Amino acid sequence: MVGLRLYDVEAGVREVRASLAETETEAEVQALVEGSMEVMLGVRFLASEYSTGPVHGGRIDSLGLDENGAPVVVEYKRATDPGVLSQGLFYMAWLTDHRGEFQDLVRERLGATAASQVLWSAPRLICVAGDYTRYDLHAVREHRRSIDLVRYRLYGDHHITLETVASAAGQGKPAPRAPRRRTVAGERDRRTADAMAELTAAVDEVLLGLGEDVAKVRRKQYDAYRRLRNFACVTVRKDKLLVYLRCAPADVGVEEGFTRDVTDLGHHGTGDLEVQLRSEQDVERAAELFRLAYAGA
């Protein structure tokens, strides 16, 4: 965010100065994010100031569930606090040791289906603070957990910016894919399967290559690629890949046979624009759409 300037041009050009929360604590920032957590972070809000019990003796600022069903701990600090990362990891350890309690909370707030699909292979920590020390930035990149350090700034009374300054994917070992069965369908089916495997690998390389902050999350029905939020979800069909992107179809246009508006249609993963890929040429053709989705996540 260094060098970023915001100007109000409605009544003459006037610079809107960036600031931190006016209160001495993080409560103002916490209230802002919790009020629109799904929009800002891609996380469904579950609880605020959640008590970890008398033995553990702590309170988690926010608990949530992300778009892929992963548990999320969110910690806030008004300004720079060298303890924010350690505190968040402390609560992450509690979370993974109390899976049943968390799933009960999900069941109570979001229903039995969501509780049965919690993705314990990829729990996340999101820290939102005024800034971070260089030691925090280094620690995140060395850590094995999924961590996002997010810096906020307030602009006047109506604007807040969030900037991811460090991110680590930290994925646990994904569940193995079921082995592809060799049947008597013949050489043509085997060639199709091999071609789809190559196409999947090509898409994976492009999406992961969009930035160092891209994390891949595997679910049974799809693979998600995210920054703070999902920007692409990939599902495999027999003869094509379907990629669902976080793009507004009206903004990018729809091309028959290549893209489709699925805003009101059910599908696996997240995203309103469906892209159909049948060849590596299609992947090249979709590259700009991938970049747009990444930029907006």
Q: 56-101 pLDDT, tens per residue?
A: 889 999 999 999 999 999 999 999 998 899 999 999 999 999 999 9
pLDDT tens digits, one per residue of 242-287: 999 999 999 998 999 999 999 989 899 999 999 999 999 999 999 9
- The C-alpha atoms of residue 164 and residue 231 are separated, in whole angstroms, by 15
CATH of domain 6-168: 3.40.1350.10
Closest to 21 (Cα-Cα) out of 132, 133, 126, 151:
151
- The C-alpha atoms of residue 17 and residue 209 are separated, in whole angstroms, by 34
- The C-alpha atoms of residue 136 and residue 142 are separated, in whole angstroms, by 10
Q: What is the DSSP letter of 165?
A: E
Query: Sorting pLDDT into bands at 50, 70 and 90, what band is 157?
Result: confident
Single-letter amino acid code for the residue at 190:
R
Dihedral sign, Cα of residue 288, residue 289, residue 294, residue 296: positive
Is the pLDDT at 115 greater than 90, yes or no? yes
The answer to whether 120 and 99 are in contact (CB under 8 A) is: yes
Is the pLDDT at 215 greater than 60, yes or no? yes
CATH for 187-295, among 3.90.1150, 3.30.70, 3.90.1720, 3.30.1280? 3.90.1150
The answer to whether 142 and 170 are in contact (CB under 8 A) is: no
Is the pLDDT at 200 greater than 70, yes or no? yes
The answer to whether 148 and 162 are in contact (CB under 8 A) is: no
pLDDT of residue 182: 52
pLDDT tens digits, one per residue of 7-20: 888 878 888 888 89
- The C-alpha atoms of residue 109 and residue 112 are separated, in whole angstroms, by 9
Strand, helix or coil for residue 191: helix
Mention every residue, 6+ apart, whose C-beta is less than 8 A from residue 111: none
pLDDT tens digits, one per residue of 95-107: 999 999 999 999 9
Residue ranges per structural domain of the chain: 6-168, 187-295
Average pLDDT over the chain, rounded to whole?
89
Q: Could you count the other beta carbons within 10 Å of the beta carbon of residue 59?
A: 11
Give me the count of residues in the chain: 297
pLDDT of residue 191: 75
pLDDT of residue 170: 66
Higher-pLDDT residue of 191 and 176 is 191
The answer to whether 290 and 210 are in contact (CB under 8 A) is: yes
Residue position matching structure tokens 């303890």: 83
- The C-alpha atoms of residue 145 and residue 189 are separated, in whole angstroms, by 39
Q: In which element (H, E) is residue 84 found?
A: helix 84-97
The whole-number average pLDDT for the span 150-176 is 79
pLDDT of residue 173: 45
CA distances for 109 relative to 30, 45, 112, angstroms: 20, 9, 9
Lowest mean pLDDT among 29-43, 62-76, 186-200, 207-221: 186-200
pLDDT of residue 17: 86
The whole-number average pLDDT for the span 173-183 is 48
pLDDT tens digits, one per residue of 21-58: 887 678 989 999 999 999 999 999 999 999 998 888 89
